[in-house]
Chains A and B, each alone.
Chain A
Amino acid sequence: MIPLPYYLLISAFMFIMGVIGVLTRKNAIIVFMSIELMLNAANLSFVAFSSFLGNIYGQLFVFFVMAVAAAEAAVGLAIIISIFRNKATVNLDEINLLKW
């Protein structure tokens, strides 16, 4: 059988990729995709622990996380499209209305 730390390492690497994307990419939509990567990494950890502990609650929580992720994606993309309509860009360095 595959040991638990293998899954946790995969999850950790996916999470780190997501952090890299959020911190260094310019396009708002790629930042979004990186957030989905991080959510998936957390979900993978949940399911791994759930399976190795013989406990169903982890899978239940992943189900809830997926619903919240769907809501987050819908609202976030609506905001990005709204910004694009006003400023004709989705580059994060050009959206600086609140910058002093």
Chain B
Amino acid sequence: MDLYLILFYFFAIITLVSAFFVVTTRNVIYAAFNLMLTLFGVAGFYVLLGADFIAIVQLIVYVGGILILLIFGVMLTNKITDTDIKSGFLNRVPGLLIVGTFAGILIGTLLKSTWRIAAPLPPPVAGLVGIGNLLMTEYTLIFEILGAVLLIALIGAASIARKQSN
């Protein structure tokens, strides 16, 4: 077995096991930390696929930003001193029925399709250079609009979460 395959299985186990625990554990803090492991595993897949820039962005934005925000959310909305941090389930039977149907369709299609692609081709321009060129030429407008959307969303979030003062 070559090293790529060993690393792939390693990241696959990390990702799938921790993703499973995110949705099954009753403790919200444990769910947050398992989500961190999942995000690390996905970053590992990005490195294996040769998308190094996306892997770094994944670590910075998801682990460094969104996950911290989620943990802040947990701490602000749970009575930690009363150890009331457990959380249960809801609509278990209909939910699992829907998920079962959906999973059957998705995995069935995936396994039945024939994928004609054998091995990864080298990207036309090396990762970071290619993305930078596209962002500064073809996708400049989308890039700028995205920046504005992010700014507006953060201002809106701050104004929603603030204490209402009359």
Contact = CB atoms under 8 A, between A and B. Distances in A.
Interface residues of B, number: 84
Contact of B130 (A10, A56, A81): A56
A23 B125 CA distance: 41
A40 B22 CA distance: 14
B80 interface: no
Contacts of A54: 120-124
B51 A59 contact: yes
A17 B110 CA distance: 17
Nearest to B55: A47
A32 to B, nearest CB: 6
A13 B90 contact: no
B121 A53 contact: yes
Contact of A36 (B4, B62, B98, B122): B62
A12 B158 contact: no
Contact of B31 (A9, A30, A51, A90): A30
Interface residues of A, number: 73
A83 to B, nearest CB: 9
Interface in B53-78: 53-54, 57-58, 61-62, 65-66, 69-70, 72-74, 76-78
B141 interface: no
Given A48-B49, A81-B76, A5 B99 contact: no
Interface in A50-78: 50-57, 59-60, 62-64, 66-75, 77-78
10 contacts: A3-B118, A10-B12, A17-B16, A25-B87, A32-B73, A51-B120, A51-B123, A54-B121, A56-B125, A57-B134
Interface of B: 4-5, 8, 12, 15-16, 19-20, 22-23, 28, 31-32, 35, 38-39, 42, 45-46, 48-51, 53-54, 57-58, 61-62, 65-66, 69-70, 72-74, 76-78, 87-92, 94-96, 98-99, 102-103, 106-107, 110-111, 115, 117-125, 127, 130-131, 134-135, 139, 142, 146, 149-150, 153-154, 156-158, 160-161, 163
Interface of A: 1-10, 12-21, 23-30, 32-34, 36-37, 40, 43-44, 47-48, 50-57, 59-60, 62-64, 66-75, 77-82, 84-85, 90-93
